Structure 1
């Protein structure tokens, strides 16, 4: 019977082999990372639109306009990449720039947009327009039938591309789904409209269902909702300033209440 003996490998060869394996793994990781980034860029470069249901009788029905105010959408160069600054990933970078990380919450904008665009109100074709005003004075027009990325990472990539290229177009027909437009936002609003600002600090506490039920369908309702963690919206062009709860609510929660109230008013299921 022959005993099996292991072959002794010099330490230098082991070390060399280990370094080669590590280098190979690192190369694979970088390649996969580049592929993921490429996929993200492909997805956000051209976005598919979704059809909006037209009114059944072909007539124009009352709708609503949303403005997300003071949205913290700011690009910064971290390392060798331009990124959408946020408190989770770039807190140390922001502190070095003497900026408060808690003010950089683009996730609030993402959640608010999804709350609007996912609502039955929007799918029934009642969202007339949607605007986002950033803290850097950028004004973004969002088409009601756009598909916003579901994940925050891809949303950040989309916003970087939008702020750099000033537009995001649809696949096929090249329709502009998100566009940077000229300020002020009031130039883009209908004349016969009622601009309603929301804030927990308002002394006018209302039941949203009753508030929208009392509004005339001949007047376009425009709701201005703050898309920031702290602070108050610009009240310069607001006609009515209301609070919809005894408690401070997130932007997405406020929007959901408004959408639900309008869906009940217009019998949208």
Structure 2
């Protein structure tokens, strides 16, 4: 089983220190929410976000959305061999049922995340996504995998072909990928990992790494027709 964690994801609600912004207040009023119940989004709140620490990397729910869509739509997930989680800069972890249908429309996705942060589970009566306070280290310990791999441009170069060589399909392997636009992990990912791996000498978008990791795993363990001539 492949356990894929999007770590230190820049998904959060609007911090209290910028909640007095007038544009945010107007949007919150239209949405029937408090300002601090809105999802922080650098597309709309770039100016007030300048007051925040690490402002140049925060407010990126779009990265989370596209990575979830890519992972859950994979043959690996459809066949029951993938578990996907995302962990945020404020040590919250979101569990996602493999059969969850994530909205492809961005505004609907943001609305879903606002509801998740507000209620702790969506849909409320039978949650397919749940949110809890938990560090990356605690989640990795809960998974208790045979191997932990983390992807970073500063890691050991590997084509991907040898990543899962010491494992079987029955083994649990945890792969950690950064859920932020640039910079480095905030969590001690190197300390949690058995190997720090690079598949390209330059920084890649998170969704590109997600896609490659899933395909590396599929090619190693699953005889899909797409790999028959490779």
TM-score range, shorter chain: 0.7 to 0.9
Residue correspondences, number: 201
Give distance in 1, aligned partners of 2:132 and 2:51: 32
Where does the alignment leave 5 or more consecutive residues of structure 1 unmatched? 1-62
**Aligned runs of 1:98-137 on 2, under 5 Å?**
100-127=55-82, 129-137=83-91
Deviations 1:89-125 (A, max 9, x none): 1101212556624432221111111111111111111
Greater C-alpha Rg: 1
Q: Deviations over 1:173-216 (max 9, x none)?
A: x4321111342213421x342111110111x1001133234533
| 1:140-177 superposed Cα distances (whole Å, 9 cap, x missing partner) | 1111111111022111111111011111127xxx4321
Q: Is residue 199 from structure 1 mapped to residue 148 from structure 2 by the alignment?
A: no
Pair 1:79 & 2:25 matched: yes
| TM-score (norm: length of structure 2) | 0.80
Distance in 1, matches of 2:6 and 2:84, equals 8
CA contact (8 A) 2:91 2:133 kept: no
Q: How many Å apart are 1:138 and its aligned residue? A: 1.1
Task: For 1:214-225, list aligned pairs within 5 A.
Answer: 214-225=166-177
The verdict on how the C-alpha distance between 1:260 and 1:99 changes in structure 2, with shifts beyond 3 A counting, is closer
**For residues 137 and 253 of structure 1, what CA distance do their matches in structure 2 show?**
24
Q: 1:166 touches 1:180 (CA, 8 Å); kept in 2?
A: yes
Q: Does 1:175 align with 2:126?
A: yes
CA contact (8 A) 1:130 1:144 kept: yes
State the secondary structure of the residue aligned to 1:136.
coil
| Contact 1:196/1:222 (8 A) holds in 2 | yes
Q: Which stretches in structure 2 are left out of the alignment for 5+ residues?
A: 29-34, 226-230
In the superposition, relative to structure 1, how do residues 242 and 262 fare at CA in structure 2: closer, same or farther (>3 Å)? Answer: same
